[in-house]
A = this chain, B = another copy of it.
Amino acid sequence: MYKDDTFFLSDAFAADTGIELLDVSPGKAKVMMEIADRHKNSHGTVHGGAIFTLADAAFAAASNSHGIPAAAINASISYMKSASSGVLYAEAEEFSQNPKLAVYNVHVTDGNGGKIALFQGMVYRKTPRR
């Protein structure tokens, strides 16, 4: 039910924000976004909400990659560098999982490998009871 592509393709907000899924495998995912004017904030750089949404999309794809529905319960993001043109990538990697919880690290980088943001997210996993 939570097959990777189907899962991502049904994510309306990620699609609306212009996010594309590049890769997904158990516990990992990579997404990208081409920066457009509509992604910008009042300072003229990519909005923190757009960067968060990009990281969150990688986190959602990675955390739902095991076939068990996973709902985000917590996330933290640290912004290191602003971006204003080109592409942004977000790569999520699982730190650890147990039947109820899982935690992911997500790196957001630009097209030149510049470190834009570091994101950490936790999901609640709806592991079925036997």
Which A residues fall within an 8 A CB radius of B? Answer: 7-8, 10-14, 16-17, 37-43, 46-50, 52-53, 56-57, 60, 64, 69, 71-82, 95-98, 100-101, 103, 105, 107, 115, 118, 120, 122, 124
Cβ-defined contact, B80 with A101, below 8 A: yes
Cβ-defined contact, A43 with B56, below 8 A: no
A75 cross-chain contacts in B, Cβ below 8 A: 48, 52, 76-77
In the assembled complex, the CB of A15 is this many whole angstroms from the nearest CB of chain B, namely 8
Listed A/B pairs (20) with beta-carbon separation below 8 Å: A7-B42, A10-B42, A12-B37, A12-B39, A12-B41, A13-B41, A13-B47, A14-B47, A42-B60, A42-B64, A43-B71, A52-B53, A73-B73, A75-B77, A76-B77, A78-B103, A80-B103, A81-B96, A103-B118, A105-B118
Cβ-defined contact, A74 with B78, below 8 A: yes
A16 cross-chain contacts in B, Cβ below 8 A: 38-39
A124 cross-chain contacts in B, Cβ below 8 A: 100-101
Nearest chain B residue, comparing its CB with the CB of A98: B80
Query: Once bound together, how far apart are the Cα atoms of A127 and B15, in whole Å?
Result: 37
Query: Once bound together, how far apart are the Cα atoms of A46 and B56, in whole Å?
Result: 13
